[in-house]
Copies of this chain bind each other. A is one copy, B any other.
Amino acid sequence: MLFALDAMGGDNAPEAPCRGAILACGENPNISVALVGIRDRIERYIHDAEASVVSRVSIVNASEVIGMGDNPASSIRSKKNSSLRVAIEMVRSREATGCISAGNTGAIVAGGVLVAGRIKGIDRPALAIPIPSLKGLSLLLDVGATVRCKPINLFQFAHMGSIYMRSLSGVERPSVGLFSNGAEEIKGDDVIGEAREMLAASSLNFSGFVEGNLLPIGGTDVVVCDGFTGNALIKFGEGIGEFVKTLIREEIGKRFIPKIGAALMMPALREIWARFEYEKNGGSPLLGVDGIVIKAHGNSGPNAIAGALRVAYSFARLKGTDLIKESFES
């Protein structure tokens, strides 16, 4: 499978996307990557890879770059030769099975909607990310595609999330919760209240409101919120991971913990705080668009890019887009 990777997107571009592509191709012989971007700035990073990998890494030249501060919709419209737009065009033309970018989130979403197109029946797309909990993974969506939602958006996110989670986890009827500021029915606002009624009357396995403290505890397969809230939560989790990591380092220094204890403890702690880097563990599929569009963390290194390629590959194998299309078209 060929994936188009925006080689110019993200804080560490083009080096991280290039090295991430080589990593992913090295791991999985079924993955090929087209690095989309400014050829001169990409070539140097793929020279030194093994021959078996290099044969699966190609370059597609694209002369423009969409920056982090660019207006999403207008840059996607006007920068026709930008690495992001060209990568999404390759999905639309079916040249590529999917595309990945660590660039401007708004532009990725705008590109998904304007270039790949929405699935018929879907009002707005959602970025979905699996987050770890004590009871396994929960799928949280939206984490940043649709900043503010109407009830119908939350309702559709619940359906898309349920379909995706079923294919990811094998659970036949994933439980679906609506994120709110309390478990009681009177919580939330008008939008959330209306979405709650729609979900309660639907065929989904709806379990009611989910409060923030229950997300890491787990127990709900799919948790739905607007893109502002979802983004706030995953970024905050990431920041707490940093906070914990730094404090533990300081405490180890301060308390004269026997070196052997600390040395044995650190790998465990590193594993724990790595779980907070939700986006760096993979990348978020943009659900609701007609094709595979994966957003990677803006600060992705090579491992995070390779993780996003893995997500794209698994999404393609699970036929995530087709499943959503079938459900919404019927």
List the interface of chain A (C-beta within 8 A of B). 68-69, 71-72, 105-106, 132-134, 144, 147-148, 179, 181-182, 184, 186, 188-189, 211-217, 225, 227-229, 231-240, 242-244, 246-248, 251-252, 254-258, 260-262, 264-265, 267-269, 271-272, 276
Q: Is the CB of B147 within 8 A of A189?
A: yes
Bound together, the chains give a CA A217 to CA B272 distance in angstroms of: 18
* Smallest CB gap from A247: residue in B: B272
Bound together, the chains give a CA A257 to CA B269 distance in angstroms of: 12
Residues of B within 8 A of A148 (CB): 189
Bound together, the chains give a CA A237 to CA B213 distance in angstroms of: 7
Q: Is the CB of B243 within 8 A of A216?
A: yes
Bound together, the chains give a CA A47 to CA B189 distance in angstroms of: 44
Q: Is the CB of B215 within 8 A of A239?
A: yes
Main secondary structure of the interface of A (DSSP, over half): helix
CB distance from A267 to the nearest CB of B (A): 8
Residues of B within 8 A of A252 (CB): 265, 268
Copies of chain A in the complex: 2
On whether A257 and B248 interact (CB within 8 A), knowing A68-B184, A189-B148, A216-B242, the answer reads: no
27 CB-based A-B contacts, threshold 8 Å: A69-B186, A72-B186, A133-B243, A144-B181, A147-B189, A179-B232, A181-B227, A188-B228, A212-B231, A212-B233, A212-B239, A215-B236, A215-B239, A216-B236, A233-B233, A236-B237, A237-B240, A240-B240, A248-B268, A251-B265, A251-B268, A251-B269, A252-B268, A258-B258, A261-B261, A261-B262, A265-B265
Bound together, the chains give a CA A117 to CA B214 distance in angstroms of: 34
Residues of B within 8 A of A229 (CB): 228-229, 232
